Amino acid sequence: MGLVTDRAILVTGASRGIGAAIAQAFAGQGDRVAIHYRAASAAAASVLAQLPGGGHVVVQADLTDAGAVRRMVNEAADRLGGLDVLVNNAGIYESHPITDVSYEEWQAAWRDTLGVNLVGAVNATWCAVQHMIPRGGGRIVNVTSRGAYRGEPRHPAYGASKAGLNSFGQSMARHLAPHGIAVASVAPGYVATDMTTEELASPRGDVIRGQSPFDRVARPEEIASAVLYLASPQAEWASGTVLDLNGASYLR
């Protein structure tokens, strides 16, 4: 059994996949978790019902709405009795190759993707920091992607948003250290979640798995374990880190 820490944790995009696994991992070591969702209220409630321990809550916000983000973070802090850790996990992944979409579709994909993946995380971070500084510190962990480095020709806004999140996280690591707040990121490759089930079951599945010499993709629990470490009191010296979690499928 993990160390009981009883911290207040906010995980965005926690109604499924990696976010749900992260929520489960924190709850498993005795933390209290706020599960954020945008529209999947039933899925968020299901995740909540499966968390060990008590004191967990569900909070809702469209991350493209700055006012809603502020209300959501404040609600999480109020209901948890403070905020010690923010995990910026929520993200969207839209296909919009530049040669295949209209100008209007191109603009919409960039607006929506950056709005959730980058600006939403940036705003959640500002709001969370207001609660962490009075407590003497905290941890912020961003879930980015190997797509920030290797290029995403069919999902360019996604790759750009994750590269921006890496850079933002490192800027915050420099600025927030005097306040006792460490900031780090994890950059997964493909992960076996409901978002990737269809593609992994398609003819491309073997190609995707073959990108790693382990001939598989990651499990959500593997990403959650890394987030748990980076959010731990022992990981202060890892602040500014971007940890690649791609099974040697992309090396830099």
The residues annotated as belonging to the active site are: 158
CA distances in angstroms from 94 to 66, 105, 110, 152, 155, listed in the order given: 21, 11, 9, 11, 6
159: tokens are 């790759």
Nearest to 232 by CA among 224, 222, 220: 224
Sheet holding 85-88, edge to edge: 57-60, 32-37, 8-11, 85-88, 138-143, 181-188, 242-245
- Tokens 């020709």 -> residue: 153
114: tokens are 């950056």
Residues in the chain: 252
- Tokens 């940890």 -> residue: 243
Bridge-partner residues for 88, per DSSP? 142
Nearest to 140 by CA among 231, 244, 6: 231
Residues sharing a CB contact under 8 Å with residue 102, sequence separation 6 or more, in sequence order: none
Residues sharing a CB contact under 8 Å with residue 34, sequence separation 6 or more, in sequence order: 8, 9, 10, 11, 56, 57, 58, 59, 76, 79, 80
Pairing mode of beta strands 85-88, 138-143: parallel
